Amino acid sequence: MIVGDWYNGQSINDSKGFLNDKATRLIGWATMRQLRIKPDTCRLKSTIRGLIKHCYDDYSASSEERGSFLPGWTTNTTQNYSKLITQAFIYQTSEQLDTYNYIGQHATYRSGGYVYEFRGQHATYRSGGYVYEFRGSLSELYNDLSELHQLEWIDKQTRAVIIQMNLYNPNIPIFTSAVIIIEILSSSGIFFSVRFEPLSVDAFTSIFQIVCAFIYLTFILYFMILEIRSFIHLKKLYFRQVWSYIEIGIIACSWTSVGIHVWRANEAKRITRLFRETHGDIYLNFQLLAYINDIFSFLLAFCCFFGTLKLLRLCRYNRRLALLSDTLGRSARELLSFSFMFSIVFMAFLALFYLQFLSLIWECSSLLRTAQMLFEMLLLKFDATEITQAAPFLGPLYFTWFILFVVFVCINMFVSIINDNFRAARDYVHKVDHDDQDIFTNVFKKIQWWCGNNEESANIVTFNTKPNVIMISEMADPIKRLSYKLDELMVYIDRRYEDKMVRIAWNETTVSTLDCQKISRSDEISIIETYHPINKDYDHMKIEELKTSHASNDNIDEEMDIEHNNDEIISSDFDPNAIIQRFLFIFFAFIINYKFYLSID
């Protein structure tokens, strides 16, 4: 904790307050804090009171020792000790030390003042205690620690020793809160844990972060307005939607993060001001700043979690990604029933392994560790050697039962449920044509087209409207489309007129002359291509469409021919009025078509 000499024995100048690495500055001094319990905190049975005089229980807030003593944990002494040694046996409150709580696994204990939770292993320790400050030269520290050892500063009543120090590295620059905790249980077990938490006192390190924060808050404000409108419109139905809670989670965590960020900035500003005024020569506790920083990190983690779930909802427009949500939605009830059954089976094996191997193997020393071991078995990543050595017969037997009932049966049931519902969701997606499934594809191609990739512009998806399907390319030139329709009308009129003329000639001849041939449709198309007044600009693709439509009309014409042949009375009179009407109709249609042709040119 104190800078030493160089490797060649030369002393270091201008390195006051630095650690021995010559790069890290110690803010103030390090402290070693002890938490003790009162003697005789547990009850002894009458049968052993004659053998054991004192009993020391585990740490708790009610059994904590808060009295002040003289060196050696006595109330009367004639020897004189230094101020630091004497102060190490005087209890100080959390307000005097500016310290906060530590949370472990045995219990949670509260104390007044500001609270900072250190995740330990066995207990939560109050923020007061008996403190020794590491101050002075290196030789003085050696002498003081040796004297504390002789005075039994750590004895049977000690339940925790906490070493705290705050560091600053000017090369980065960044602050660090370091906490080293030694927990001593009533069973004489000692557990060691360390926590190093780097802290940044700057709210924003670049303009880019400020811009991103502003854009993020703008979107959050916009989404909050949308959710308020949805709540006013849906009322009670709003809380029946799962995605509503995700939106509420994003908004709540975001605005809470803003408040925590302001709180952290104010605390960092206070620490920076004290550090500047005192030049780092007083003890500054970073526990509160680290506590605020942890809360801020938790809120950001929840924002990312809810935001990722919302991204999954937006990806429902992709056909493949939508299969996940559809599959989970279809299998929700079956998975709920399966989870209930699986929980019963898993709890049965949890009780079996815990009670059988509680005192034999470390993995079964607690319910949490036993559950972790069973999950490793479930993933087939567990080495059963230790169980076999602990119980040569029952160990392999229990392990085999777990593999058969849980891995082979339960896991296969789970996979079957997911597989069946996945097939049903996939078949439904393939049967139902959703235009919104191609949104992502169209967006990506549109972006490529904006970036200059003109090849993708021809592949942009055009969404259809129901019941009529009209392509955008056909809507681009309605005059040209009308010209094509008039051409089709003229061909149809010509064909019907020629067919009737053939039928009249057929009826006027005898049975032996029934070998007359009708004008084929291919001849009609060739005539159109040759003699049509707009043959030079006629679209060959439309000619092919006419051929296809005429091929389908041939079947209709054959049926009409059969009906005409079955008629017993067929008028053989030549109607000149009908011919004149047809001629005038064809003539006006030709004139209209020709005018449109001139307008196109």
Q: Which of 284-298, 314-328, 562-576 ranks highest by mean pLDDT?
A: 284-298
Q: For residues 576-597, give the mean pLDDT.
A: 57
Helix (H) or strand (E) holding 163: strand 158-169
Q: Which of 220-224, 280-284, 289-293, 517-521 ranks highest by mean pLDDT?
A: 220-224
pLDDT score for 578:
58
CA-to-CA dists, residue 394 to 357, 384, 398, 408, angstroms: 10, 12, 6, 20
What's this model's pTM, rounded to 2 decimal places?
0.62
DSSP string, 513-566: GTT--PPPHHHHHHHHHHH-TTTTS--HHHHHHHHHHHHHHHHHHHHHHHHHHH
- The residue ranking higher by pLDDT, 474 or 129, is 129
Residue 227: partners with Cβ closer than 8 Å, 6 or more residues away: 244, 247, 248, 251
Indicate whether 109 pLDDT > 70. no
pLDDT score for 384:
83
Q: 408: exposed, middle or buried (C-beta count within 10 Å: 0-12, 13-18, 19+)? A: exposed
Q: For residues 341-352, give the mean pLDDT.
A: 93
pLDDT score for 118:
28
pLDDT score for 99:
77
Bond before 396 cis per omega within 30 degrees: no
Residue 36: phi and psi, rounded to 5, are -125, 165
CA nearest neighbour of 316 among 306, 328, 304, 305: 328
- List of long-range contacts for 321-324, beta carbons under 8 Å, 24+ apart: 322/429, 322/437, 323/422, 323/425, 323/426, 323/429
Q: pLDDT tens-digit profile of 518-531?
A: 444 455 445 444 44
Residue 164: phi and psi, rounded to 5, are -125, 140
d(CA 223, CA 131): 51
| Percent of the chain clearing pLDDT 70 (strictly above) | 64
3-state SS class at 18: strand
Q: pLDDT tens-digit profile of 436-468?
A: 556 666 777 777 777 776 554 445 444 444 444
pLDDT score for 544:
52
Q: For residues 338-356, give the mean pLDDT.
A: 93
Indicate whether 328 pLDDT > 50. yes
pLDDT score for 314:
75
pLDDT score for 147:
84
CA-to-CA dists, residue 49 to 57, 63, 187, 567, angstroms: 16, 20, 19, 128
Residue 187: partners with Cβ closer than 8 Å, 6 or more residues away: none
- pLDDT bracket for residue 338 (50, 70, 90): very high
Residue 308: phi and psi, rounded to 5, are -70, -40
| Percent of the chain clearing pLDDT 90 (strictly above) | 14
What is the 8-class DSSP label of residue 43? Answer: P
Q: Minimum mean pLDDT among 37-41, 100-104, 220-224, 385-389: which range?
A: 100-104
Q: For residues 361-369, give the mean pLDDT.
A: 88
CA nearest neighbour of 589 among 507, 502, 485, 496: 485
Domain 329-431 matching CATH 1.10.287: the answer reads yes
Q: For residues 535-541, give the mean pLDDT.
A: 45
Q: Which of 305-314, 452-461, 505-514 ranks highest by mean pLDDT?
A: 305-314
Indicate whether 42 pLDDT > 90. no
Q: 244: exposed, middle or buried (C-beta count within 10 Å: 0-12, 13-18, 19+)? A: middle
pLDDT score for 110:
35
Q: How many CB atoms lie within 10 A of CB 122?
A: 20
CA nearest neighbour of 33 among 184, 126, 182, 162: 162
- What average pLDDT does the chain have? 73
DSSP string, 328-369: HHHTHHHHHHHHHHHHHHHHHHHHHHHHHHTTT-GGGSSHHH
- pLDDT bracket for residue 59 (50, 70, 90): confident
Question: CA 568, 573, 575 angle in degrees (round to 5)?
Answer: 130
Residue 519: phi and psi, rounded to 5, are -70, 125
pLDDT score for 25:
82
- pLDDT bracket for residue 509 (50, 70, 90): low
d(CA 259, CA 44): 52
- pLDDT bracket for residue 341 (50, 70, 90): very high
pLDDT score for 252:
94
Q: How far is CA 541 from the centre of its chain?
A: 52
Q: pLDDT tens-digit profile of 202-256?
A: 777 788 988 999 999 999 999 999 999 999 998 888 888 888 999 999 999 999 9
- The residue ranking higher by pLDDT, 449 or 119, is 449
- pLDDT bracket for residue 119 (50, 70, 90): very low
Residue 293: partners with Cβ closer than 8 Å, 6 or more residues away: 197, 199, 264
- pLDDT bracket for residue 508 (50, 70, 90): low
pLDDT score for 537:
42
- Residue spans of the domains in the chain: they are 25-199, 207-317, 329-431, 439-473, 477-600
pLDDT score for 115:
26
Identify whether the C-beta of residue 126 lies closer than 8 Å to the C-beta of residue 96: no
Q: pLDDT tens-digit profile of 147-199?
A: 888 888 888 888 888 888 888 888 877 888 888 888 888 888 888 888 888 88
Q: For residues 325-349, give the mean pLDDT.
A: 89
3-state SS class at 87: helix
pLDDT score for 176:
87
pLDDT score for 248:
92
pLDDT score for 538:
43
Q: How many CB atoms lie within 10 A of CB 542?
A: 16
